[in-house]
Amino acid sequence: MTNVLYESAYGSTRQYAETLAARLGTVAQQLSDADPAALRSSPEPLVVLSYVHGPSIPAAGFVADHDLGARPVAVCAVGMTLLEDARAKDQMAGALGKKGEVARFYLPGRLSYSTMGRKHRMIMWGIIKALKAKREADRSANDRAMIDSYDRDTDRVDPAELDQVVQWAEAQGHRS
C-alpha cells in the first residue's frame, strides 16, 4: 500500500493528500508525524506532498534529507506558479540533488490572502511591486497571473491533476 505524507499551509496540499490517499485506499499522514526509519524499511511506494514557498519545498527537502531505502518515491509540489511554468522550471530537480530517480509532480494550489500572516503578506507585496515595475512586454503569463490575483483569495486546486500521481503509484505498487 502506498504511503502518503503531506505538509500544508493553506489547506490545498492537505486536500490533495487526503484525496490521493482515498483514491489509493490508504490514509494521508502529516509529514511531521512521519518516522523516516519506518519508511526506510517499507518497499511500498511513497508520495510526499507539500506547498511551495519561494525556494522552499518541504516535501523535496524531506526526501533529500532522509534515507528512504530502495522504495519508489514521488514528490508533489503544490503552488501558485502556472503549471506549465512550474513543470518547465522543475524546481524540485535541483532540490532533490542526487535523488534524481524521484518522480516529480506539480499541482496547482490555493493562496488565501484573507488568512495570510503579516510577514507572508509583506513578502507577497514586495514580489508584486517588483513584477509591476517590469515593462508590460517583459512580464510573463505567470507574472501577470500573480499580479491579477494579488490580495485576492485564489483557488486553483484541481483534483484531476492527481490522475498522473495515482497512475505512477499504481504502476510502482505492481513492481514491489
pLDDT digits (tens, 9 = 90+) for 72-87: 999 999 999 999 999 9
Is 64 found in the same domain as 127? no
Q: Has residue 175 got a pLDDT over 70?
A: no
Is 167 found in the same domain as 145? no
**pTM of the entire structure?**
0.91
**Is the CB of residue 63 less than 8 Å from the CB of residue 99?**
yes
Is 146 found in the same domain as 165? no
Residue 66: which CATH number? Answer: 3.40.50.360
Pick from 77, 69, 17: nearest CA to 45? 69
Is 148 found in the same domain as 82? no
Is 89 found in the same domain as 60? yes
According to DSSP, residue 10 is labeled: S
Percentages of the chain per state (helix, strand, coil), in multiples of 5: 50, 20, 30
Render pLDDT for 74-130 as a digit per residue (tens, 0 to 9).
999 999 999 999 999 999 988 887 766 899 999 999 999 999 999 999 999 999 999
Is 65 found in the same domain as 10? yes
Radius of gyration for the chain, computed over Cα atoms and rounded to the nearest angstrom: 17
Is 127 found in the same domain as 99? no
- Which domain covers residue 142, as residue numbers? 113-152
Is 118 found in the same domain as 34? no
pLDDT of residue 100: 64
Lowest-confidence region among 49-53, 54-58, 66-70, 99-103: 99-103
Is 102 found in the same domain as 29? yes
